[in-house]
Structures are given as C-alpha cells and as structure tokens.
Amino acid sequence: MTSLTTLAQLILKNCEALDASCVARGIAVPSLDDLAYTPGSDVANHDPAVGEAIRTVTNAALQLLSTVRPTPLVLYSLALGGTVSAAAHVAAELHVAEALKESGEKGLHINDIAAKCKTDPLKLAPILRLLASHWVFKEVTPDVFANNRMSSLLDKGQSVEELQKYPESKYSKPSAGMAAGINHFGDETLKLSAHLYEALSDPDWTFSSASNKCAANKAFNTDLTLWKFYEQPEQRERYDRFKIMMASAEKFQAPDLISKSFDWMSLPKDAVVVDVGGGMGNISMLIAKANPELKVVCQDLPETIETGKGRWNGKEREGEASMIAAGRVSLQAYDFFSAQPIKNASVYFLKHVLHDWSDAASLEILRNIRAAAGPDTKLVVMDKVLPYTCLVSEDTDTTEVPGYMRPTLPAPLTNVGAASAGFPYTAAMQMLMIGNGQERTINHFVRLLKEAGWKLECVRQSDALAQNPSSLTAVPIPI
C-alpha cells in the first residue's frame, strides 16, 4: 500500500468518525456555502475524541497536499501567504461582508460591491477572487460574489453606511471581534513580519532581550515598547482593536480553563490568591465567584487598576462591586518588575504574562515572586506549552513532569505541528515580533523556572497541541 493511499484512508476513517459525531449531536456537517455562521454548528466541539479526529484529518490532509503538489509550488504558496492576510484585511476594512448581506445567495456584481465600498472594482475583484479561492466569499457567477459561512464572520453588525459615517465605532457590536482580529493581523502582523529579518540581522538587536528591540520597533520606527506605542493618542484605534480581538479570542477557548487550572478547593479558608498582571480583574472575579472562601488580589499598573475600579464599582455590576466591598476581591497597583508587596500568598497566578516577555525579563518577574513566597506557596502559570513538531518519546525527552501530554501521531504522519494548523507556532512568532516574548516548550519552562528558584511540579493541559493555554504549577526551591 502506498503512503498516499494510507494518508487518504486515514482521512476517510476519521471523517467517518466526525460524521458519526455530528449525527449523535443532531447537527448536519456545515456547508462552506452556508450564508451565515451559526455558533455551535461547527464539527469541532470540546469533546477530546472529536478534537483528535479533526487534528488527524488536518495533519493527514496537509501532509498529503505537501506530498503530491510540486515542491516549488508548496514553498511559493507559503511565501505568498501574506497576500491572503492582506486581502482579508482589505475586505474587512472596506466592509464587503456588510455590502453583501442583503443580497443573500444571489450576490452582487463586483461593480455594485465596489460602489458600496467606495473603491475601484478592477482592484477589488482580484482581492475577492483570492479570498474565494480560500472559501472566504463565493463567486456565484463570473464577477458576482456572495457571502458564505466564512465571510459572514467578517460582518461587524452594522450597515455599510453606518460604518463609513462612524468609523470610530466599527467594533462596537459584539459580532465585530473576528473582523477586529483579521484587521489586526492584516495590519500590525504583516508589518511586523516584513521587518522580522531586519530585527534579527541587526547586530545590536539580534541577541538583545529588550522588549523595544524587535520587529515591532523596526516596523513602526519607534523606541517604545509595543504596549507604550499603543498608548500614544494616534494609535488609539489599533489599541482598541487589539483589546477587542483578545476579548473575542477568549470565547474560543475551553470554558473551564480557569476552574481547571488549579485545585482551588485545596486552599484553606481566606487563602490569598494574587493575580499578578491581572489587568482589570476579569480572571480575579472568575476565581472569586467560583471559590467564595478565597481572597483574590488583582495586581496591575496604576492606570489599568484605576480603570478596573471604575468598571467593577458600577451599578451594572452590583455582584462584583459587593465582592470588592466585602474584601473578597481587591485591586492593587503594582509593577511586576519591582518587589512583590504581598508576602507568603497561597497562590501567585500568572495568566498570559510570561509569554509577553523574554527569558531575562521573565526571570525578573519570577524572582520577585520567589522572594515573596513562603514554603507552601504555589506558583500557577497559564501559558501555551509549545509542542515540538517532532514526536517526543520518554527516551528522547529528558523532562518528566506529571500531567505533561506528549502529542501522538498515527502512521504515516510525521509532523506534529501540522495537526494544529500551525496555530501555536504563529502565536510564538507573534510574541517574538511584538516584544522578544516567548511561547515555551516544556523543557524551556523547566529551565526557566529552575533558574528563578521554582520547581515545576505538574502541568494541566486540555490538549497536547496548545490550542488552549496550559496551567503549570511550581513550588519554591528551598534556598
């Protein structure tokens, strides 16, 4: 049997399993030609068996394509991937999905679409055709395009006229999160990607761990970190768009990540949990609501904390305000590059903090916490555990951490990373480009934590391919 046939049969076997899963859930396999995306209609759900089947199909299909297509074409397709991102950015910014919304499956001629979007039809046509070739929009008949399942997610929930008249409010509707993300990637990410080599080839930058010596600084010609750059008045739109994108992305994660990140019930009454770098307190509130006997302190920079106080003290959030009034949740101004003011907390919690920073900066954060920790303190880090793209066995992996999940592959699959469609690796690139940050492998985490005075005790993972962040629990190494 040829490996091509084996790959095809692997795809078929797992597609049959996914068909059966859809039948059991009482849903039809969604069509790419559907006019709109309906939440809950995806083949994917939070069933681990379904996730494994999807990863196998994805991996096998990509390996099959890379095997049968001419090798130069595969490489050129990778190199030209940025053009698809640019096209999606244009379509979202020009409000093409909104322009097509009323036309239904019949669609509109490119001249009519361009007139609504105030652009040249001869320039818009190749952009939509490139997207349609990736199943985003559909060319119904020559030069006539319609929305489909994919493109409907770009609809920001307003009319074209409203969006053009009030551009500052284009992300104000709950449905605008996907468009915000597409525009972020088509704007910042493309600009940063174009300057990555420039940053790495600069002899004064390539070995620097400074968060203001990376591709973002080359792209925007600034000495500021990206976060300080975002705070400039002229960057308000970019910053707001970024925050909306991140809030939207949270919805696609497993809903019980925080509750399963640590055994919160094991803590004694009135135990103190410090949410370090916790923003305005969203995660702190989740922990406190689910664990009413704990006291949670959210720490972040003064401006963020003041915004958070205003948010939680509002009348529309009376439940949260009462938790603050009762002392169950408190908000504290703190810079995690300075000495930790709360000593001997039961848990110091870091969600999506360390991946923003280089190893040098992360060591400073972790050492400040270690200096404040007591002998029974736990450190909980929520970040991606980046999987290796090769198969890792107990013989080749020197790190043995309870709970760490090694990805597995059925033969003849060879690339673990392909099963995740590259997502955690693109996230790693993002962190590198925006501030010399890092998504880290399990061995990388062990080394980093040990150097800062912590021993990695266990890992909690919802999947082995970092589709969701993992939770790493560490204990102080005795001094």
Which position has the token pair 């020559």?
142
pLDDT for the residue 139 = 98
| pLDDT band of 324, cuts 50, 70, 90 | confident
| pLDDT band of 329, cuts 50, 70, 90 | very high
Asked whether residue 229 is domain-assigned, the answer is: no
Asked whether residue 281 is domain-assigned, the answer is: no
Q: Which residues contact 221 (CB under 8 A, 6 or more apart)?
A: none
Virtual CA dihedral for 209, 212, 215, 217, nearest 10 degrees?
-160
Using CA atoms, how far apart are residues 405 and 402, in angstroms rounded to an integer?
9
The tokens describing 162, both together, are: 């409203």
Asked whether residue 300 is domain-assigned, the answer is: no
Query: How many other CB atoms sit within 10 Å of the CB of residue 70?
Result: 8
pLDDT > 90? residue 160: yes
Using CA atoms, how far apart are residues 292 and 272, in angstroms rounded to an integer?
12
In one letter, which amino acid is 106? K
Q: Which residues contact 215 (CB under 8 A, 6 or more apart)?
A: 192, 193, 195, 196, 198, 199, 432, 433, 434
Asked whether residue 479 is domain-assigned, the answer is: no
Among this protein's residues, is 355 annotated catalytic?
yes
Average pLDDT, the chain: 92
Using CA atoms, how far apart are residues 87 and 108, in angstroms rounded to an integer?
19
pLDDT > 80? residue 263: yes
Asked whether residue 172 is domain-assigned, the answer is: no
| Interval 89-140: pLDDT, tens | 999 999 999 999 999 999 999 999 999 999 999 999 999 999 999 999 999 9
Can you tell me the mean pLDDT for 241-269?
A: 85
Which position has the token pair 């070995």?
207
Using CA atoms, how far apart are residues 27 and 43, in angstroms rounded to an integer?
9
What burial class does residue 233 get, using C-beta atoms within 10 Å of its C-beta: 0-12 exposed, 13-18 middle, 19+ buried? exposed
Query: How many other CB atoms sit within 10 Å of the CB of residue 337?
Result: 10
Q: Using alpha carbons only, what angle is made at residue 199 by residues 361 and 192, rounded to the nearest 5 degrees?
A: 90
Q: How many domains does the chain have?
A: 1
DSSP letter at 312 equals H
Among residues 418, 385, 388, the alpha carbon closest in space to that of 404 is found at 385
Q: Using alpha carbons only, what angle is made at residue 81 by residues 190 and 408, rounded to the nearest 5 degrees?
A: 105
What is the residue range of 19's domain? 3-75
Q: Using alpha carbons only, what angle is made at residue 251 by residues 155 and 419, rounded to the nearest 5 degrees?
A: 95
Query: Which percentage of the chain shows pLDDT scores above 90?
Result: 78
Can you tell me the mean pLDDT for 300-306?
A: 91
Virtual CA dihedral for 152, 157, 160, 163, nearest 10 degrees?
-130
Asked whether residue 445 is domain-assigned, the answer is: no
Using CA atoms, how far apart are residues 308 and 304, in angstroms rounded to an integer?
6
Asked whether residue 55 is domain-assigned, the answer is: yes
| Interval 18-69: pLDDT, tens | 999 999 999 999 999 999 998 889 999 878 899 889 989 999 999 999 999 9
pLDDT > 90? residue 264: yes
Can you tell me the mean pLDDT for 396-402?
A: 72
Q: What's the whole-model pTM score?
A: 0.90
Candidates 46, 89, 355, 444; catalytic one:
355
| pLDDT band of 479, cuts 50, 70, 90 | confident
Virtual CA dihedral for 273, 275, 281, 282, nearest 10 degrees?
-90
Asked whether residue 34 is domain-assigned, the answer is: yes
Q: What strands, in cross-sheet order, belong to the sheet with 108-109?
A: 108-109, 144-146, 138-141
Task: State which H helix or E strand residue 224 sits in.
Answer: none
pLDDT > 60? residue 290: yes
| pLDDT band of 6, cuts 50, 70, 90 | very high
